[in-house]
């Protein structure tokens, strides 16, 4: 028979798939002998089965009963006891952390009899009734979907009746009345009494946690974080301990290093006389963890030693939730902590220095996405006005946008917005995703807003308590800021500025540019160290997509070892467009030859500059690709101009000629029309001119003492015969240019047929470069110019894919074509060089795919070169160290 329940003493931190992150880590702490309340975990497999069949697995509750008996023995209390009852918390906990997304129910086990027992045993009647009313409230909301307002209204009545403004001022008797009122509300909504049978409470709570896996906000969060939707959550059932039992009790959160900067030290928040949920909700402002050393020195000392042991065990930054009940410390949770991108790099390097992890492991502790975040600009503080307010710098970055006050407005906005809230809760997720930044007036570094924003890499300032949020406005020091006003948020300093503040480049970019040295700067030193190791490790080379010498030079500074794609059509823009127009309009060979002759020197000069910038490294120059009518004015514009001229009785002149040409060249599906290699075969002399320009530029570079390494790449080939024809012409042009170095000729693989016939094509190609933009377009039949805006939102919503296939390579379809082409191409020509130059070449997940598929290089925009270099190194190091240790 399957087993669905594990006592904390039975699990360990490596069982996250089965026990969820929280359960596995509670088990690990229990095994380490740390003070964890007794409890057990119901597995994710039980949840999966529940979600699948709609009912809990047979025998699950009997198993729960068995483990509950063990908890009772350990805690020396009985569940439902009328004298000294054991109370339980029931918490969700999936494999991946989803802060605040699913349900928690506390104080299970209270009923009309045991509430009296709790009052007697704790000596605190008020506390007992307050716990009971919290249970009914949480239970009603979670298990029976009751609106929170039903309970809030009753609580407000009670406050009014008692003439107080704060719940804490309600007496035991008044809270007993609140419980009675809550029970009535409960009955009115559910048609039944609040369950007095404590086991029924427990089973209903467990089932509600299973169900909460599919809550709308949880589904949305997983989609955003790319967490699979079918994992299910584990359920942790644990003996309750109380942080709200007076001044010698409290609850807090601790980090073993600063999750914002990575610095070593004591970081966290503490709240005296409170339950854990009060801290996470950010409803009351906390004190710094350091103050616990005066509030409760013994617990503080014990906590520091626990933190040290956890770091040693997890070999990483840990975050911890703890409670102190009447001076006794209890550990409620730990996990490898989320951190900012900067902290990830700094901590990885520190752990190497401390001898805790190897450099290969350090590479697994950072990601290309994090490096991308560090390459974002920040504010130019010299140009900043006086700040409006300062809050907690919860998630770094520089965000400028118009103020909005609710999630729906943020989600509906078309321009950049800043979501301003008193505090956020999981319902605000859509707005947080849409906003540039988040500003709250309450809560600290561990509030919901802070944790979620950090996870998303989104700028966030929390707890800016000088801000008074009203209805559609906020006021600060007499100044009123309205919805739609622009503000700027500095997530690194916590400052909030009026108006737009200019931004300046990131220090990491300046370091890559060679404008800053890493020396003495912990972040830059860490980046430098990991980049050096990644480069040393990487098997994939990283080239750049660059059309100009300036782009190529920047890419080279960023570590590119070649140009993987020069789109030559970009050299025909601006004032040169007219020359292409002349070529298109040429009515005979002589006119065509004249137009091409005018283009030749311009191309040659461009190529010379590009080859100089990449001297000694390969430069892959692609022959012209787009349909030629892209170089003419649009049909509608010309039609209007000609119609206007005709209406005025004027001669449309040149416009008339152009219109005739555009009409002649019109295609219903230009992306599938006369473009790429087809142009070279249809327009005599066009490719030859470009090839001659490349060869002459290379010869000139050789004559100047350079080491040019150009390669010629033919786009959109679908059949080897196309390539053979262009190749024959190219060879004869190259042979006629004296002094040119050997120039390789290869092809893009962008048409599914090319991938499938790669064995034949390789006979005529010295290299392949996957054009995964077109290959994705043609494999899926998705117009790359239209679909992302048109209906991808719906597709993502339906889970047809978790990310656009134009962003991250689709491994099963497009990726399979890549694998086939590599295999067939190399079988036919073992020395074939294979790369990729579509947008996927700079996407972290795709770089890993290309590493595994055995490519020689990826090519991407200059700005993404460092990201691809890091990912190439990580992919190679993963081969050596196994998968990501987290």
Choose the one of Mg ion, ligand PEP, none that binds residue 865, judging by a C-beta under 5 to 8 angstroms depending on kind. Answer: none
Residue 345 vs 806, nearer CB to ligand PEP: 806
Shortest distance in whole angstroms from residue 622 CB to ligand PEP: 8
Residue 93 vs 842, nearer CB to ligand PEP: 842
- Give every CB contact of residue 470 below 8 A, 6+ residues apart in sequence: none
Choose the one of Mg ion, ligand PEP, none that binds residue 567, judging by a C-beta under 5 to 8 angstroms depending on kind. Answer: ligand PEP
Is the CA virtual torsion 442, 447, 451, 452 positive or negative? Answer: negative
Binding marks (x or -) toward ligand PEP, 220..259, rule CB under 6 A? ----------------------------------------
Distance in angstroms (rounded) separating the CA atoms of residues 189 and 644: 70
Pick from 154, 750, 810, 856 the residue near ligand PEP by CB under 6 A.
750
Distance in angstroms (rounded) separating the CA atoms of residues 468 and 655: 61
Shortest distance in whole angstroms from residue 623 CB to Mg ion: 12
How does DSSP classify residue 864?
G
Distance in angstroms (rounded) separating the CA atoms of residues 583 and 599: 9
Residue 713 vs 875, nearer CB to Mg ion: 713
Residue 623 vs 733, nearer CB to Mg ion: 623
Residue 121 vs 784, nearer CB to ligand PEP: 784
Q: Show contacts with ligand PEP in window 758-777 (CB under 6 A).
A: 771-774
Shortest distance in whole angstroms from residue 338 CB to ligand PEP: 34
Q: Which of 67, 318, 448, 460 is catalytic?
A: 448
Helix axes 125-144, 114-122, angle to 10 degrees: 140
Structure-token match 């070999």, residue found? 315
- Give every CB contact of residue 603 below 8 A, 6+ residues apart in sequence: 568, 571, 689, 690, 693, 694, 697
Distance in angstroms (rounded) separating the CA atoms of residues 227 and 16: 14
Query: Is 462 a residue of the active site?
Result: no
The distance from CA 848 to its chain's CA centroid, rounded to whole angstroms, is: 16
Distance in angstroms (rounded) separating the CA atoms of residues 761 and 611: 27
How does DSSP classify residue 856?
S
* 802-841 CB burial, b ≥16 within 10 A, e <16: eeebbebbbbeebbebbebbbebbbeebeebbbbbbbbbb
Q: Which two tokens stand for residue 346?
A: 């700094």
Shortest distance in whole angstroms from residue 671 CB to ligand PEP: 9
Beta bridge partners of residue 272, listed in sequence order = 250
Residues of the shown chain interacting with Mg ion in the complex, contacts defined by CB under 5 A: 750, 771, 774
Choose the one of ligand PEP, Mg ion, none that binds residue 360, judging by a C-beta under 5 to 8 angstroms depending on kind. Answer: none
Q: Show contacts with ligand PEP in window 556-585 (CB under 6 A).
A: 565, 567
Dmax (CA) for the chain in angstroms is 106
Distance in angstroms (rounded) separating the CA atoms of residues 694 and 104: 67
Choose the one of ligand PEP, Mg ion, none that binds residue 837, judging by a C-beta under 5 to 8 angstroms depending on kind. Answer: ligand PEP
Angle value at C-alpha 882, between 876 and 886, nearest 5 degrees: 110
Binding marks (x or -) toward ligand PEP, 618..637, rule CB under 6 A? -------x------------
Q: Could you tell me the CA-to-CA distances from 879 to 10, 254, 488, 852, 858 in Å, in that order?
A: 31, 34, 43, 9, 18
Pick from 118, 837, 868, 872 the residue near ligand PEP by CB under 6 A.
837
Distance in angstroms (rounded) separating the CA atoms of residues 16 and 234: 9
The distance from CA 396 to its chain's CA centroid, rounded to whole angstroms, is: 15
Shortest distance in whole angstroms from residue 827 CB to Mg ion: 25
Q: Could you tell me the CA-to-CA distances from 18 to 69, 215, 226 in Å, in that order?
A: 22, 21, 19
Distance in angstroms (rounded) separating the CA atoms of residues 799 and 428: 21
Distance in angstroms (rounded) separating the CA atoms of residues 300 and 46: 38
Q: Could you tell me the CA-to-CA distances from 273 to 132, 331, 495, 550 in Å, in that order?
A: 17, 16, 30, 61
Choose the one of Mg ion, ligand PEP, none that binds residue 772, judging by a C-beta under 5 to 8 angstroms depending on kind. Answer: ligand PEP
Residue 268 vs 825, nearer CB to ligand PEP: 825
Examine residue 838 and tell whether it contacts ligand PEP (CB under 6 A): yes
Cβ proximity of 255 and 268 under 8 Å: yes
Shortest distance in whole angstroms from residue 714 CB to ligand PEP: 12
Query: Is 157 a residue of the active site?
Result: no
Residue 316 vs 750, nearer CB to ligand PEP: 750
Residue 219 vs 681, nearer CB to ligand PEP: 681
Residue 463 vs 626, nearer CB to ligand PEP: 626
Cβ proximity of 523 and 531 under 8 Å: no
Half-sphere exposure of 257 (CA within 13 A, CB side): 24
How does DSSP classify residue 500?
P
Residue 429 vs 837, nearer CB to ligand PEP: 837
φ/ψ of residue 333, rounded to 5:
-170, 145
Q: Which of 67, 837, 840, 851 is catalytic?
A: 837
Choose the one of ligand PEP, Mg ion, none that binds residue 838, judging by a C-beta under 5 to 8 angstroms depending on kind. Answer: ligand PEP
Radius of gyration of the chain (CA): 33
Catalytic positions:
448, 837
Residues forming contacts to ligand PEP in the complex (CB under 6 A) are: 565, 567, 625, 750, 771-774, 837-838
């Amino acid at each position: 028979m399957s087993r669905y329940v594990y006592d904390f003493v039975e699990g360990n931190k490596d069982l996250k798939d089965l026990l969820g992150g929280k359960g596995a880590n509670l088990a690990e702490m229990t095994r380490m002998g740390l003070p964890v309340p007794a409890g057990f975990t119901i597995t994710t497999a039980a949840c999966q089965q529940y979600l699948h069949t709609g009912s809990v697995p047979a025998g699950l509750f009997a198993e729960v009963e068995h483990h509950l008996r063990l908890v009772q023995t350990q805690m020396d209390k009985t569940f439902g006891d009328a004298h000294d009852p054991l109370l339980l918390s029931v918490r969700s906990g999936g494999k991946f952390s989803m802060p605040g997304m699913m349900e928690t129910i506390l104080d299970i086990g209270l009923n009309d009899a045991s509430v009296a027992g709790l009052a007697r045993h704790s000596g605190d009647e008020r506390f007992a009734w307050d716990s009971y009313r919290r249970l009914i409230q949480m239970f009603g909301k979670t298990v029976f979907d009751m609106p929170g307002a039903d309970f809030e209204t009753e609580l407000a009545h009670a406050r009014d009746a008692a003439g107080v403004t704060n719940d804490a001022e309600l007496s035991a008797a008044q809270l007993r009345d609140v419980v009675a009122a809550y029970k009535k509300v409960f009955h009115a909504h559910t048609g039944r009494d609040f369950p007095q049978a404590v086991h029924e409470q427990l089973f209903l709570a467990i089932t509600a946690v299973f169900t909460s896996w599919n809550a709308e906000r949880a589904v949305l969060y997983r989609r955003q974080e790319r967490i699979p939707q079918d994992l299910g959550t584990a359920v942790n059932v644990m003996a309750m301990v109380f942080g709200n039992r007076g001044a010698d009790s409290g609850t807090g959160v601790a980090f073993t290093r600063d999750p914002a900067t990575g610095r070593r030290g004591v970081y966290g928040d503490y709240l005296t006389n409170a339950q854990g949920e009060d801290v996470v909700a950010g409803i009351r402002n906390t004190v710094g963890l350091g103050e616990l050393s005066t509030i409760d020195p013994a617990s503080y000392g014990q906590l520091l030693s626990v933190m040290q042991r956890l770091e040693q065990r997890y070999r990483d930054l840990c975050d911890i939730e703890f409670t102190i009940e009447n001076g006794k410390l209890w550990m409620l949770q730990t996990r490898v902590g989320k951190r900012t991108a900067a902290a990830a790099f700094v901590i990885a390097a520190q752990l190497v220095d401390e001898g805790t992890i190897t450099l290969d492991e350090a590479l697994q502790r950072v990601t290309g996405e994090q490096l991308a975040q560090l390459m974002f600009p920040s504010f130019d503080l010299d140009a900043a006005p006086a700040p409006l307010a300062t809050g907690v710098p919860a998630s770094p970055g520089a965000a400028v946008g118009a103020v909005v006050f609710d999630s729906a407005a943020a989600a509906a906005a078309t321009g950049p917005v800043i979501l301003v809230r008193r505090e956020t809760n999981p319902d605000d997720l859509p707005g947080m995703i849409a906003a540039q930044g988040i500003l709250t007036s309450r809560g600290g570094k561990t509030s919901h807003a802070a944790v979620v924003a950090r996870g998303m890499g989104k700028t966030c300032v929390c707890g800016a308590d000088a801000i008074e949020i009203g209805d559609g406005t906020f006021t600060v020091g007499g100044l009123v800021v309205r919805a739609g006003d622009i503000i700027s948020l500095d997530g690194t300093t916590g400052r909030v500025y009026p108006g737009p503040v200019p931004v300046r480049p990131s220090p990491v970019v300046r370091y890559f540019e060679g404008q800053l040295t890493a020396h003495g700067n912990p972040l830059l030193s860490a980046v430098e160290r990991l980049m050096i190791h990644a480069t040393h490790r990487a098997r994939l080379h990283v080239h750049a997509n660059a059309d100009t010498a300036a782009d190529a030079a920047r890419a080279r500074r960023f570590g590119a070892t070649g140009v993987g794609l020069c789109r030559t059509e970009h050299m025909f823009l601006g004032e040169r467009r007219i020359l292409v127009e002349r070529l298109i309009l040429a009515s005979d060979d002589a006119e065509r030859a004249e137009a091409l002759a005018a283009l030749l020197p311009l191309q040659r000069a461009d190529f010379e500059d590009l080859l100089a910038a990449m001297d000694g490294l390969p430069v892959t120059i692609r022959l012209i690709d787009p349909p030629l009518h892209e170089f003419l004015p649009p049909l509608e514009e010309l039609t209007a101009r000609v119609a206007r001229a005709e209406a005025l009785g004027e001669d449309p002149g040149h416009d008339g000629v152009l219109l005739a040409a555009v009409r002649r060249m019109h295609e219903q599906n230009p992306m599938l029309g006369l473009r790429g290699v087809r142009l070279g075969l249809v327009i005599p002399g066009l490719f030859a001119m470009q090839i001659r320009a490349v060869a002459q530029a290379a010869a000139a570079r050789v004559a100047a003492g350079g080491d040019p390494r150009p390669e010629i790449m033919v786009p959109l080939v679908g059949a080897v015969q196309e390539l053979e024809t262009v190749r024959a012409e190219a060879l004869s042009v190259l042979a006629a240019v004296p002094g040119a170095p050997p120039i390789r000729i290869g092809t893009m693989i962008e048409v599914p047929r090319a991938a499938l016939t790669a064995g034949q094509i390789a006979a005529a190609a010295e290299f392949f470069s996957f054009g995964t933009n077109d290959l994705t377009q043609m494999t899926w039949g998705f117009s790359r110019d239209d679909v992302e805006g048109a209906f991808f939102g719906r597709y993502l919503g339906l889970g047809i894919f978790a990310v656009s296939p134009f962003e991250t390579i689709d491994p099963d379809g497009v990726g399979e074509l890549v694998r086939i082409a590599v295999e067939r191409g190399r079988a036919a020509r073992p020395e074939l060089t294979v790369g990729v130059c579509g947008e996927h070449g700079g996407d972290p997940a795709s770089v890993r795919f290309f590493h595994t598929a055995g490519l020689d290089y990826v090519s991407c925009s200059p700005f993404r070169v460092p990201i691809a270099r890091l990912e190439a190194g990580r992919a190679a190091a993963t081969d050596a160290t196994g998968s990501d240790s987290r």
